Chain A
Amino acid sequence: MGRLKTLWHRLGSPRWFFEISGPWAIGALVVGLVCIAVGLVWGLAIAPPDYLQGNSFRIMYLHVPAAILSESCYILMGLAGAVLLIWRMKLADMVVAAAAPIGVVFCVIALLTGSIWGRPTWGTWWVWDARTTSMLVLLFLYFGVMALRQAFPREETAGRAAAILAVVGMIDIPIIKYSVDWWLTLHQTSTFKLTSAPSMPPQMYLPLLISVLGFYVFFFGVLLFGVGNEILRREQRTQWVNDLVRSRAS
């Protein structure tokens, strides 16, 4: 309990977080990119074709991780928003700021690859059904959070406004998750379930697992790096950042 409390107080120190997170960020970026490369190449070239969809199912190795990550990223952003609103922790605001531009990219990847996958599989680029529509709402939530951060002259006000939207927007996450079970939709149900074995052979789901893992680790790395960028920007007038800049320049 005592250690937890110390950690909590240390999180209030941007300098401490910057120094501790640097190596983790780089390590996670490298490991994440390697895993993504392995998962994608495996899925693209080695995994057997689907008996029904042929080779277009290979889009899954990108589409599923991107979709999972765009939701996970939003959950993290919403939780960080809540921490900011409740405890006014600056670091939480930086997490929101760093997470939004990453999540929006994953969300765009998920929507575009889903649309491309839909063409040969469902015979249409787009349907206004529960899963696709709630996913589009997620994209607009990301845009909203990013826009609110720019909309106020005072950074603190902007941060709180964005945090409120991030928290309220979390309501979309269970809707996306359960949309395929609650409503009749063209979209298939979850590929992975905690309660049962995957319905695919290992040759098909192992690369997907590696790809999802790689996306998570990569996201973790970019997020830490982005939070580091935010810390530097906000602390740019402090002695320790000036010292760091000088040591980099020489």
Chain B
Amino acid sequence: MSFASWHDFLYMGGHYLYVWSSYGIGVLGIAVTLIRTLRARRRFFMEQGQRLRRQSISAEAADAPRSA
């Protein structure tokens, strides 16, 4: 451990604004990159699932008069 206490750690020898804002930006950037990619996958499967359901419903509707 490089710091004696939590206060020292957070204070960063007076450089807390620079160090913590940098790490905030870095973590935010990594999180945005990760979440954006994972959500795109989820959205794709949701949208395509809806499209396929719509298609099968309209296909059933088209079949209905013939079977009646």
Residues of B within 8 A of A245 (CB): 45, 48-49, 52
A-side interface residues, number (CB < 8 Å): 45
Contacts A105-B33, A245-B49, A245-B52; A56 near B18 (Cβ below 8 A): yes
Residues of B within 8 A of A116 (CB): 18, 21-22, 25
The distance in angstroms between the C-alpha atoms of A120 and B18, with both chains bound, is 8
Is B29 close to A, CB under 8 A? Answer: yes
The secondary structure that dominates the B interface is helix
Cβ < 8 Å to B, chain A residues 76-124: 101-102, 105-106, 108-109, 112-113, 116-117, 119-120
Is A142 close to B, CB under 8 A? Answer: no
B 1-42 to A, binary, CB cutoff 8 A, 1 in contact else 0: 111000001001111001101110110011011101110110
A29, A245, A246 — which one has the most chain B CB atoms within 10 A of its CB? A245
The distance in angstroms between the C-alpha atoms of A117 and B19, with both chains bound, is 8
The distance from the CB of B21 to the nearest CB of chain A, in whole angstroms, is: 6
Residues of B within 8 A of A20 (CB): none
Is A167 close to B, CB under 8 A? Answer: no
The distance from the CB of B59 to the nearest CB of chain A, in whole angstroms, is: 13
Residue of B3, B19, B33 touching A102 (CB-CB under 8 A): B33
Q: Smallest CB-CB separation from A214: which chain B residue?
A: B30
Residue of A33, A55, A226 touching B19 (CB-CB under 8 A): A55
Is A75 close to B, CB under 8 A? Answer: no
Is A149 close to B, CB under 8 A? Answer: no
A29, A59, A117, A233 — which one has the most chain B CB atoms within 10 A of its CB? A59
The distance in angstroms between the C-alpha atoms of A218 and B48, with both chains bound, is 28
Evaluate contact between B12 and A55: CB separation under 8 angstroms.
Answer: yes
Evaluate contact between B12 and A58: CB separation under 8 angstroms.
Answer: yes
What residues make up the interface of B, taking CB atoms closer than 8 Å to A?
1-3, 9, 12-15, 18-19, 21-23, 25-26, 29-30, 32-34, 36-38, 40-41, 44-45, 48-49, 52-53
What residues make up the interface of A, taking CB atoms closer than 8 Å to B?
29, 33, 36, 40, 44-49, 54-56, 58-59, 62-63, 66, 101-102, 105-106, 108-109, 112-113, 116-117, 119-120, 218, 222, 225-226, 228-229, 232-233, 236, 241-242, 245-246, 248-249
